[in-house]
C-alpha cells in the first residue's frame, strides 16, 4: 500500500475531536491527489464515516459548478445515513424549490440543519467526512472560495462533527479562499513531502503493478515467451522511480502502457520508456506520454508518420480542448470524421484516455496532464530548468478552437429547425417533454454546438464583425438556437453567451452585428421565464409582442405561425425597463447598486434583504435575520459588505459574496 503515512494522518485528523474542520491537501498536477481522494472515500465508506463526496471536473456539465453541488451532497447523505433522510425530506417538502435557492440557503437547509438534527438523534461519536476533490476545477473562482468559506464555518460548530477534505492544485483563487479563513484548516502540500517518502511510495506502487503485469502476461503466453521471474529487475525499477519522482501520474500511466497488449509485450514497451532516461528528454511529461504516442508512428515512413500525426491532431486535439466531453458518435458528427477512423486511432490511446465500451458514452482524459503535454507552448524541465521546442504531437490550441468554431456553426446550420422536437402545440411546457424525446431530436453534438460555439470563439482570441459568419448564423438561426437551449434546460445561459459575443466585437466594422446582439439581449431579458418554460412560445407570443422596430422581429417576422390571425399591436421600441426582479413577498422599501454595478441589493417588508445579479436578474443571496421590516440597504464602498436597517431596531452587516451576517448593531 502506498501513501500509508499520509492516509494515517488523514484518518487521525478525522478522528480527532479537537481538529480543524477543514483539511486542505494540495499539490501540483500528477502528484496523486484524486487517487488519495478515492482511497479515503473507500476507507471511510467501509467504516460508515463517509458523509459524501464530490469530484469536480471542469467543463463536465454539473460537475464543473455549484448548480447541483449541495443537492448531490444531500442526496448522498440521505442514502448513506438513513437517520438523516427524514430531516432532508422535511426541508424539501417545506421548500420544493430549494435547489434553485441561493447557495448559502441550500447549505444551511440541506447540510447544516440536517446534520445538527443527526448529531442530536444519533449521538454519534465519530465525525462524518466529506471529500471535495479537484476544487480548482470549479468553473467560477468565486464559487470555489464560497465552498471554502461555508465549510470553514463548521469549525465554529463542533456539535456538527463534520470534517471536510479538500484537494486541489495550489491555484491562486484556492489559496486566497483558504487565506480568508486562516485558523480553520490544516493543510499538507504533496509536492513538499520529503523525497524519501515519495520515493518509497512510488517504488511500492511500481513493484506491485509490475508484478501484476508480469503475472498476467505470463499466464497468457507460451513458456518460451514468458518474462523472467526477476523482471523487470531492481535496476530498471530504480530508473523508473527516478524518472517518476514526484509525479505519481508517470508511474500510473507507464504501468497502463506496459499492461496494454495492443502495444506489444511489456519488456519491449519498458525499453521504449527507459530510452527517454538515456536520451535526456526535456520533461517528465515527455517521458510519460511520448513512449505511448510514438507507438502510433513506429516503423512508418516519414510521409506516413506525418499523415498519422495530422490525423491525431484532428481527432485528439479537439478531445483535449472540448468544453465538455463527447462520445465517439458525437465526435464523428461534430468533426466531420468517420467514426471508424476515430475508433481506430483511439484503440491505441487507452493508456491516456478513458474510452468506454459504449460509443454513446463520452471519451474523457484520464489526467489533465495529458492536455498540458499536448497544448503546452514549451516543456519546462523541472530538474534542469531548461526549455525545449515543441514535440511532434504538439497541438495548436488556438487553431483547434478555430476549427471547432467552424464545426459548431456547420452542425447548427444543418440541424437547427423550427419546432425541432415536433411538439406542434405552442403551449407545451418544457418539463412535460421527456429526455428521450429531446435527445432523439437534439443529439449531443448539436447540444454541444449550441452551448459552446461562442466559448471556442473566445478561446481563439479573434474578433468578429459584420462580415463574420457569426452574423449570418444569428440572422438565420437565432430563435432556433434559443429553442434548443430551452429544450435542454439551459435557456438562462443565452444571456451570458450573447454578452460574451459582444465582448468579442471588432472595434471597426461591427455596428450592425452589435445592434443585433443588443436587441437579442433585450428580447431574452424581457422573456427569459417564458423562453425557459415554453420553447415554442419563442415563435408565437414572444415574437408577436416584440416591438415593431426590433431587429430580431424584422429578421424573423416570417416565422410567426399562420394560426395567429389577429396579431397584437406591439410598441415601436423597447421600453426602458430592462429587468423585473421577482422574489420578495411584500413591499420593497429600498434598492441600491454595488459600486461596480454587477449586483443589486433590495430590502423589503418581508424582513429579508436580497442580492441580485444585475446582468440576468438572478437572486444570488437571500439574507435572513431581521425580525421586522427592512427599511434601507446599502453597499460598502468596496462592495464587499451590505448594511441593512430594520424596524427591529438593528443594523446588520452582511458579506455580499456569501450572505453571512458579520455584525449586528443594536440601538
For the cut 80, the answer to whether the pLDDT of residue 192 exceeds it is no
Strand partners, 661: 654
CA angle at residue 411 from 408 to 414, to 5 degrees? Answer: 145
Q: Which of 388, 416, 451 is the last residue of a domain?
A: 388
Q: Do residues 128 and 171 share a domain?
A: yes
**Considering the domain boundaries, does residue 582 fall inside one?**
no
CA dihedral defined by 538, 539, 545, 550, rounded to 10 degrees? 90
The domain spanning residue 496 has which CATH number? 1.25.40
Q: Which of 173, 193, 213 is the last residue of a domain?
A: 193
Q: Do residues 480 and 534 share a domain?
A: yes
For the cut 50, the answer to whether the pLDDT of residue 273 exceeds it is yes
Dist. CA 85–CA 117, nearest whole Å: 11
Dist. CA 647–CA 628, nearest whole Å: 5
For the cut 50, the answer to whether the pLDDT of residue 379 exceeds it is no
Mean pLDDT, rounded, of the chain: 90
**Considering the domain boundaries, does residue 569 fall inside one?**
no
Dist. CA 639–CA 646, nearest whole Å: 20
pLDDT tens-digit readout, 465-497: 999 999 999 999 999 999 999 999 999 899 999
* Mode of pairing for the β-strands spanning 185-189 and 22-26: parallel
Q: How many residues does the structure list for the chain?
A: 667
The C-alpha cell of 179 is what?
487565506
CA-based nearest residue to 183, from 153, 150, 143, 161: 153
Q: Do residues 151 and 209 share a domain?
A: no
Which positions ≥6 away from 558 have C-beta within 8 Å?
none
| Mean pLDDT along residues 198-219 | 92
Q: Do residues 436 and 461 share a domain?
A: yes
Q: Do residues 644 and 555 share a domain?
A: no
The domain spanning residue 185 has which CATH number? 3.40.50.300
In which domain, by residue range, is 10 found? 4-193
CA dihedral defined by 573, 577, 581, 585, rounded to 10 degrees? -110
Strand partners, 653: 643, 663
For the cut 70, the answer to whether the pLDDT of residue 281 exceeds it is no
Q: Are 506 and 464 in contact (CB under 8 A)?
A: yes
Residue 18, SS3 per DSSP: coil
Q: DSSP assignment, residue 566?
A: S
For the cut 90, the answer to whether the pLDDT of residue 103 exceeds it is no
| Mean pLDDT along residues 280-287 | 68
Dist. CA 370–CA 289, nearest whole Å: 7
Q: Do residues 17 and 158 share a domain?
A: yes
Query: What is the pTM (predicted TM-score) of this model?
Result: 0.76
Q: Do residues 74 and 215 share a domain?
A: no
Count of structural domains within the chain: 4
Q: Do residues 162 and 260 share a domain?
A: no
What confidence score (pLDDT) does residue 197 get? 84
CA distances from 373 to 1, 282, 370 (A): 29, 12, 5
pLDDT tens-digit readout, 613-646: 888 788 889 999 999 999 999 999 999 999 999 9
Q: pLDDT band for 381, please (50, 70, 90 cuts).
A: very low
What confidence score (pLDDT) does residue 158 get? 72
What confidence score (pLDDT) does residue 95 get? 85
CA atoms within 13 A on the CB side of 191: 15
Q: How many CB atoms sit inside 10 A of residue 229's CB? A: 7
Q: Are 219 and 337 in contact (CB under 8 A)?
A: no
What confidence score (pLDDT) does residue 276 get? 74
Q: Which of 137, 158, 193 is the last residue of a domain?
A: 193
Q: Are 289 and 371 in contact (CB under 8 A)?
A: no
Q: How many CB atoms sit inside 10 A of residue 46's CB? A: 9
Strand partners, 634: 643
Q: Do residues 370 and 414 share a domain?
A: no
Amino acid at each position: 500500500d502506498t501513501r500509508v503515512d499520509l492516509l494515517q494522518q488523514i484518518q487521525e485528523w478525522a478522528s480527532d475531536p479537537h481538529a480543524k474542520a477543514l483539511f486542505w491537501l494540495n499539490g501540483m498536477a500528477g502528484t496523486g491527489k484524486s487517487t488519495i481522494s478515492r482511497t479515503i472515500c473507500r476507507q471511510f465508506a467501509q467504516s460508515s464515516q463517509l458523509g459524501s463526496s464530490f469530484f469536480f471536473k471542469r467543463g463536465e456539465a454539473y460537475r464543473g459548478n455549484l448548480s447541483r453541488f449541495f443537492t448531490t451532497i444531500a442526496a448522498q447523505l440521505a442514502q448513506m445515513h438513513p437517520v438523516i433522510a427524514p430531516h432532508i425530506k422535511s426541508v424539501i417538502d417545506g421548500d420544493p424549490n430549494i435547489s434553485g435557492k441561493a447557495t448559502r440557503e441550500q447549505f444551511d437547509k440541506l447540510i447544516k440543519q440536517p446534520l445538527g438534527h443527526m448529531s442530536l438523534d444519533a449521538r454519534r461519536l465519530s465525525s462524518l467526512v466529506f471529500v471535495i476533490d479537484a476544487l480548482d476545477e470549479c468553473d467560477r473562482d468565486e464559487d470555489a472560495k464560497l465552498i471554502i468559506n461555508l465549510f470553514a464555518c463548521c469549525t465554529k460548530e463542533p456539535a456538527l462533527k463534520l470534517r471536510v477534505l479538500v484537494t486541489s492544485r495550489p491555484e491562486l483563487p484556492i489559496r486566497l479562499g483558504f487565506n480568508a479563513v486562516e485558523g480553520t484548516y490544516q493543510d499538507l502540500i504533496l509536492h513538499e513531502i520529503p523525497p524519501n517518502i515519495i520515493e518509497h511510495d512510488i517504488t511500492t506502487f511500481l513493484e506491485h503493478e509490475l508484478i501484476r503485469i508480469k503475472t498476467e502476461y505470463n499466464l497468457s503466453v507460451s513458456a518460451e515467451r514468458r518474462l523472467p521471474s526477476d523482471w523487470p529487475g531492481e535496476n530498471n525499477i530504480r530508473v523508473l522511480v527516478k524518472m517518476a519522482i514526484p509525479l505519481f501520474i508517470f508511474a500510473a500511466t507507464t504501468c497502463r502502457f506496459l499492461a496494454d497488449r495492443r502495444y506489444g509485450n511489456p519488456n519491449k514497451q519498458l525499453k521504449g520508456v527507459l530510452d527517454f532516461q538515456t536520451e535526456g528528454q526535456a520533461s517528465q511529461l515527455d517521458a510519460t506520454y511520448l513512449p505511448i504516442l510514438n507507438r502510433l508512428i513506429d516503423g512508418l515512413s516519414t510521409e506516413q508518420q506525418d499523415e498519422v500525426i495530422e490525423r491525431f491532431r484532428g481527432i485528439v486535439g479537439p478531445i483535449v480542448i472540448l468544453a465538455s466531453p463527447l462520445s465517439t458518435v458525437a465526435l464523428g458528427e461534430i468533426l466531420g470524421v468517420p467514426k471508424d477512423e476515430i475508433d481506430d486511432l483511439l484503440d491505441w490511446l487507452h493508456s491516456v484516455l478513458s474510452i468506454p465500451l459504449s460509443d454513446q458514452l463520452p471519451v474523457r482524459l484520464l489526467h489533465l496532464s495529458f492536455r498540458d503535454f499536448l497544448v503546452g507552448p514549451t516543456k519546462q524541465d523541472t530538474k534542469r530548468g531548461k526549455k525545449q521546442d515543441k514535440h511532434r504531437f504538439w497541438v495548436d490550441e488556438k487553431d483547434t478552437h478555430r476549427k471547432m468554431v467552424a464545426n459548431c456553426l456547420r452542425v447548427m446550420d444543418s440541424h437547427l429547425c423550427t419546432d425541432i422536437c415536433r411538439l406542434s402545440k405552442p403551449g407545451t411546457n418544457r418539463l412535460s417533454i421527456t429526455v428521450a424525446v429531446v435527445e432523439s431530436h437534439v443529439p449531443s453534438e448539436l447540444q454541444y454546438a449550441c452551448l459552446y460555439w461562442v466559448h471556442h470563439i473566445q478561446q481563439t482570441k479573434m474578433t468578429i464583425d459584420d462580415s463574420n459568419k457569426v452574423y449570418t448564423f444569428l440572422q438565420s438561426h437565432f430563435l432556433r438556437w434559443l429553442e434548443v437551449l430551452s429544450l435542454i434546460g439551459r435557456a438562462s445561459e443565452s444571456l451570458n453567451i450573447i454578452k460574451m459575443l459582444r465582448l468579442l466585437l471588432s472595434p471597426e466594422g461591427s455596428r450592425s452585428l452589435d445592434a443585433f446582439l443588443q436587441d437579442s439581449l433585450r428580447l431574452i431579458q424581457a422573456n427569459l421565464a417564458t423562453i425557459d418554460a415554453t420553447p415554442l412560445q419563442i415563435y408565437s407570443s414572444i415574437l408577436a409582442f416584440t416591438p415593431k422596430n426590433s431587429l430580431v422581429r424584422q429578421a424573423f417576422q416570417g416565422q410567426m405561425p399562420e394560426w395567429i390571425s389577429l396579431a397584437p399591436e406591439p410598441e415601436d421600441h423597447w421600453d426602458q425597463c430592462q429587468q423585473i426582479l421577482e422574489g420578495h413577498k411584500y413591499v420593497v422599501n429600498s434598492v441600491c447598486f454595488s459600486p461596480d454595478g454587477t449586483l443589486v441589493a433590495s430590502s423589503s417588508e418581508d424582513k429579508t434583504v436580497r442580492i441580485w445579479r444585475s446582468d440576468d436578474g438572478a437572486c444570488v443571496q437571500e439574507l435572513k435575520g431581521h425580525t421586522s421590516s427592512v427599511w434601507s440597504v446599502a453597499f460598502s464602498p468596496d462592495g464587499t459588505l451590505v448594511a441593512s436597517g430594520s424596524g427591529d431596531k438593528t443594523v446588520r452587516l452582511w458579506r455580499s459574496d456569501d450572505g453571512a451576517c458579520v455584525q449586528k448593531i443594536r440601538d
